[in-house]
Amino acid sequence: MNVKESLSQVVINTIEELYATTISQDSINIQKTRKEFEGDFTLMVFPFVKISKKNPDITAKEIGDSLKNKLDYVESFNVVKGFLNISLKHTFWLDFLQKESKNDTFGHRTPSENTSPILLEFSSPNTNKPLHLGHIRNNLLGDAIARILTANGKNVIRLNLVNDRGIHICKSMLMHQKHFANETPQSTNTKGDKLVGKYYVAFDKQYKNEIEQLAESGIPKDVAEKKAPILLEAQEMLRKWEDEDKAVRVLWQTMNQWVYQGFDLTYKRLGIHFDKTYYESDTYLLGKKIIEEGLKKHVFYQHEDGSIRIDLQADGLDEKILLRADGTSVYITQDIGNAVLRYEEYQPSQLVYVVGNEQNYHFDVLRLILAKKLAYPWANRLFHLSYGMVELPSGKMKSREGTVVDADDLMDEMVAMAKQKTEELGKTTFSDAEIDELSETIGLGALKYFILKVDPKKNILFNPDESIDLNGNTAPFIQYTYARICSLLRKSTEASLPLTTVDISRQDTEKEILRLLYAYPETIETASEDLNPSLIANYIYELVKVYNRFYQETPILKEENQALRLFRLHLSAFTARTVSDAMSLLGINMPERM
RNA sequence: GGUUCCGUAGCUCAGCUGGAUAGAGCAACUGCCUUCUAAGCAGUAGGUCAUGCGUUCGAAUCGCAUCGGAAUCACCA
């Protein structure tokens, strides 16, 4: 039981004794004392004044007296208006440091293998174009959430669903066949996904030209968009693919392999991996049977044009197509099938989808159909982790128009910036190889932190001209703090000596650091429950900021009192470990020197 | 038009299960390296928390309305 819990329990008992009223846990609000007041934790007593029928100050004092009596670690308290500020004995904090600084899994829950897993789908790329900054956000969020859930003791299975078939892939294939048939990644010395992406852009260019030409010959634009010869050819190619035409399938296999080889490099550099990868070409027929069964049960109905539909107007949504008139499936059909497949395969406690907020409506429909129409009792376990778009000053990124920030280019740029900065600062004690490794750690760290520190549901504005900062609330700032502590520990000859008794009752900054460290487990818990890595990032920043103030203002190795010196050393080591652990939950590495 | 999300300092963001005087970073200005790594620290300046009404002892936080922005309402994924 942690302090807040035991304080809460005693408050409940006290209110019962003093005022003969039973209150619930929910009505108790205890938080970290604000730094301008004295104390460690603060209880709001306003909710109890109606019960006590006394003014807030008297009520606070009565509760404070009781807490002090009943809990031996409560040192004192003060009352400011209706706020009861509770100070713990300094030995409480020393004990905490002593115990947890040796605990390698501080803040983590031990993983429970036997519980039903959480399925976490993320990334889910199309194979017709390379990954861009928007995909980076998706991948980083998915990866960080997987790590955070695991730290909170959950059994997480990372899923990727690769969209490897469809008209968009045919567009790239067609352009390759028509204009670039001799090209391979090797022959052009190009990353496979980049090469295929080039064809996709080329298709769009030709398509637009054809529409324009048709329009000039007097054909209305909306008709031209459907009749452009190049589009018809792509559609024909998709039909051949579905008929398993050998030549088309071979080309498709070949080009997808190119893309996968490219993606693998990008994933590897980002530090992303999956436990299982599904391919849409294997699963795209999945939902059809369920729809047909639903039709028999009159959950769905057949429209006069032959398509199968569902009317969701009673639930505030619209009519939705589930199967086309020709019997082929649409996206929602596949997702219904996928969800059922996954449920049957894993019996998950949750199915989380990391997908952009542009698909909010889609997931509303999906959950509604699964829950209300198909009556799957597990449908409420579906959770759409909806994140905001990454926008440029010019607006949304569009692959087809080439207005994207390419994932690989951005990583290169960040690493180059880190390297330049390192050289500017005159870090001369590193070998070339060490500089490269350090630049990778710093550059990628800066990128990841930049993305993950923002609340997932908010849009991110990325200005390529300003790029990503390396100062202030950034990963390099945090990494630097870590490296400085590592340096202290390397220099000290006492780092392995045990903590000894020391009076820290007046060490306010140190106690503030300890209070923050104490909050690490609950931070992981909240981030896990909310599926929100930004809570971890903000926590780290707060901790590091206070530590830096301490580092700057207070002698550590140079402290003459050995007991105090050891205390500060242990505190520093514990901070470094916790910061590093928290950063690892964001997938960010830490350098021991920088 | 319907639905959902967003609106906090010049810019980028914290703070939101209601709590004390709304915080950081960037940009600007001022100090601090003969002392543990200055990728740092301290300070100055910058706010009608979009607006209005309501609920409450207490509202940036909750509710309603209005205004602004985004997404979506596909036989695309």
Given a contact cutoff of 8 angstroms between Cβ atoms, the answer to whether A42 and A3 are in contact is no
Ramachandran angles phi, psi of A17, nearest 5°: -70, -45
Which nucleotide minimizes the distance between its C1' and the CA of A362?
A: B72
CA of A438 to C1' of B38 (A): 19
A530 φ, ψ to 5°? -90, -5
Which positions of strand B lie within 7 Å of protein CB atoms? 2-6, 11-16, 19-21, 24-27, 35-42, 57-58, 70-77
CA of A472 to C1' of B27 (A): 12
> Domains of chain A: which residue ranges?
3-88, 166-279
User: Would you state the pLDDT for residue A224?
Assistant: 86
Three-state SS string over A510-529 comes to: HHHHHHHHHCHHHHHHHHHH
DSSP A399: G
Going by C-alpha positions, the residue among A353, A386, A359, A546 that lies closest to residue A455 is A386
* Single-letter amino acid code for the residue at A208: K
Q: How far apart are CA A157 and CA A343, in angstroms?
A: 13
CA closest to B23 C1', residue: A542
One digit per residue, pLDDT tens: chain A, 594 residues? 789 889 999 999 999 999 988 888 888 899 989 888 889 999 999 989 888 888 889 999 999 999 999 999 999 999 988 899 999 999 999 999 999 998 999 999 988 778 899 999 999 999 999 999 999 999 999 999 999 999 999 999 999 999 999 999 999 999 999 999 999 999 999 999 999 999 999 999 999 899 989 888 888 888 888 889 999 999 999 999 999 999 999 999 999 999 999 999 999 999 999 999 999 999 988 889 999 999 998 889 999 899 999 988 888 888 899 998 888 888 899 999 999 999 999 999 999 999 999 999 999 999 999 998 899 999 989 999 999 999 888 777 877 777 789 999 999 999 999 999 999 898 888 999 999 999 999 999 999 999 999 999 899 989 888 889 899 999 999 999 999 999 999 999 998 899 999 999 889 899 999 999 999 999 999 999 999 999 999 999 999 999 999 999 999 999 999 999 999 999 999 999 999 999 999 999 999 999
Domain A3-88, what fold?
A: Gyrase A; domain 2 (3.30.1360)
- State how far the Cα of A323 lies from the Cα of A168, in Å rounded to an integer: 20
Kindly state the helix (H) or strand (E) to which residue A93 belongs, with its residue range: helix A90-100
**What is the distance in angstroms measured between the alpha-carbon CA of A90 and the sugar C1' of B29?**
41
Q: For residue A75, which phi and psi values (nearest 5 degrees)?
A: -85, -50
Say how far A167 CA is from B11 C1', in Å: 41
Q: How far, in Å, is the CA of A538 from the C1' of nucleotide B15?
A: 11
Closest-lying nucleotide for A473 based on CA to C1': B25
pLDDT recorded at residue A149: 96
User: Alpha helix (H) ranges present in A302-402?
Assistant: 331-346, 360-368
Q: Whose C1' is closest to the CA of A461: which nucleotide?
A: B12
CA distance between the termini of chain A: 39
